[in-house]
A = this chain, B = another copy of it.
C-alpha cells in the first residue's frame, strides 16, 4: 500500500512528464529520482502516521551514480586539444553543484597504441589532468591501472589525448577511481562517519551485491552521492529504481 502510494505520487504528482536523464538542463532544474522519492516517502509515512524507516529519516536522499570513463583536464590541456582560448561547454549538469559533462570529448591513445574514442571531459577545468577508467576499459587498452583516490596520480601511467586541434600528452594520471561517497557534514553526522572513513553500499535487485571499502568524502559543498564505475554498476545492473542502502 505504501509502496503503491509512493509510486503513484512519484509518477503522477511530481512528474507530469518523466524526466530524461540524457537531456541537457541547467543545474538542478530536474530533481533526481532519488530526491523526489525521498520527499514522497517522508510525506507518505507522515500522512499515514507511521514511523519513518531509517532511510527516510536521513537528512538527505541517497543518490547513487555510475561514472562512465571520463577525464578531468586543465585549461591548458583543453586549449591544446580544442584550440587557443577554447572553454568547455556544459552538455549535462551533474548532481554535484557546478559539475558538468562537457560537450567536448577526446580520443585516448594508450601506451600500446590502442584507442578509446569519445572519452567525455568533465568540467569545470581542474589543476591536474586525470583519466578515470574502469578495469574493463584498461584491459581493452591492454595495460594495468592502479586504484587511486581521485587526485592522487603520482607515479601512475600516462596516455596521449587527441582532440580536433591537436594532441596533449599526459605523463601520468590514468587511474581507476576508488569508489567513494560524497557527503555534507549533516550526512556524516547522521551516518556517524568521518571524512576518510569507510562505508558499505548494499545494492538490491537480481544481481544484488554489497560494495565494501567505500571511501567517505565530507565537505560542506557536497551533496550525498555515491560514485561507482561501470564495472561496479554493471556487476549489479544498477538501474534508476534499484534499491540502495548506505551503511557504516
Residues on A facing B (Cβ under 8 Å): 134-136, 139, 147, 179, 206-213, 230-232, 234-235, 237
Contacts and interface: CB of A to CB of B under 8 A. Distances in A.
A147 B213 contact: no
Contact of A231 (B210, B211, B231): B231
A23 B134 CA distance: 27
A136 B231 contact: yes
The 3 closest A-B pairs by CB, nearest first: A135-B234, A235-B235, A208-B212
Q: How many identical subunits does the complex contain?
A: 2
A186 B232 CA distance: 33
A231 B207 CA distance: 11
B237 A235 contact: no
Contact of A212 (B136, B209, B231, B234): B209
B208 A134 contact: no
Nearest to A68: B139
A234 B147 contact: no
A207 B135 CA distance: 11
B207 A136 contact: no
A135 B237 contact: yes
